[in-house]
Amino acid sequence: MYTEIDTEESNFVKKILNKIKKVIQINKYMVFKLPSLWEVPLLPDFNLLKCEEASPELIRMLFKDDLGRLELFLKFVKSGMKGIIHYDGDKWVSYAWMSCPGTPGPNHLPFVNRLKVYWIHYCRTREEFRNQGLYKRNLIKLCEIARKIDPFSEVYVDTETDNLPSIRAIQKVGFKSDGFIETLSINIPRFNFVILKRWMKTEISKRESNINE
């Protein structure tokens, strides 16, 4: 038989556990890699929007009223990351960013910078422009940039395991599954720390790694 004290202790423990869950989180992402013999897929013409590689001037024009994105994207460009932006007039429509060898990694996977690879991240499309293939176009543009810089570059992208539209778009562009990444993140005010828990590679990617070695 539970006493009132037992109930209070149980509630106290639950509150502590909930606080710990908010501070310490385990995240899982699907990882995809661009094949070395990738061919640029053909997509229908889409001439209604302008598309440019991100520059400080373009960022200041499109995000002048969005201080958070403005400061973040200027920081991305300054660090050497590459970005693609679709826009209509002075309004951004869709964007995607890519970490490059020598630049910081994505915020959710900061250890990527040690791998000396290209990693696509921070992709967004305005809700009213979704389902028009803009995400696929952004991926293709960034892949072309990476392969132009280095024809033998390794290009990766990740997404949440339950984001089926993103997974389908990534696969249609030509990326192949490269397993799952699990991270452990610690979130405290003014402090965010992410560590790699494990990267579970697919059997195919393991065999390819052994061949390349």
% of the chain with per-residue pLDDT over 70: 80
The pLDDT value given to residue 209:
43
Split at pLDDT 50, 70, 90, the class of 212 is very low
Tens digits of per-residue pLDDT, 97-139? 999 999 999 999 998 989 999 999 999 999 999 999 999 999 9
% of the chain with per-residue pLDDT over 90: 67
Question: CA nearest 181: which of 198, 194, 204?
Answer: 198
**pTM of the prediction?**
0.84
Please give the order of strands across the beta sheet that includes 91-99: 50-53, 82-88, 91-99, 118-125, 155-160, 24-33, 176-188, 191-200
194 vs 100, higher pLDDT: 100
Residue whose pair of structure tokens reads 């038989």 in the numeric block: 1
Tens digits of per-residue pLDDT, 89-98? 999 999 999 9
Is residue 7, in this structure, part of any structural domain at all? Answer: no
Q: How far is CA 66 from the centre of its chain?
A: 20
Domain of residue 200, CATH code: 3.40.630.30
Q: How many CB atoms lie within 10 A of CB 146?
A: 23
Is residue 8, in this structure, part of any structural domain at all? Answer: no
Is residue 13, in this structure, part of any structural domain at all? Answer: no
Is residue 196, in this structure, part of any structural domain at all? Answer: yes
Is residue 1, in this structure, part of any structural domain at all? Answer: no
Domain limits at 182? 26-212
The pLDDT value given to residue 44:
78
Tens digits of per-residue pLDDT, 149-186? 999 999 999 999 999 999 999 999 999 999 999 998 87
Is residue 6, in this structure, part of any structural domain at all? Answer: no
Q: Beta-strand (E) ranges in 12-78?
A: 24-33, 50-53
* CA–CA dist 34, 58 (Å, integer): 28
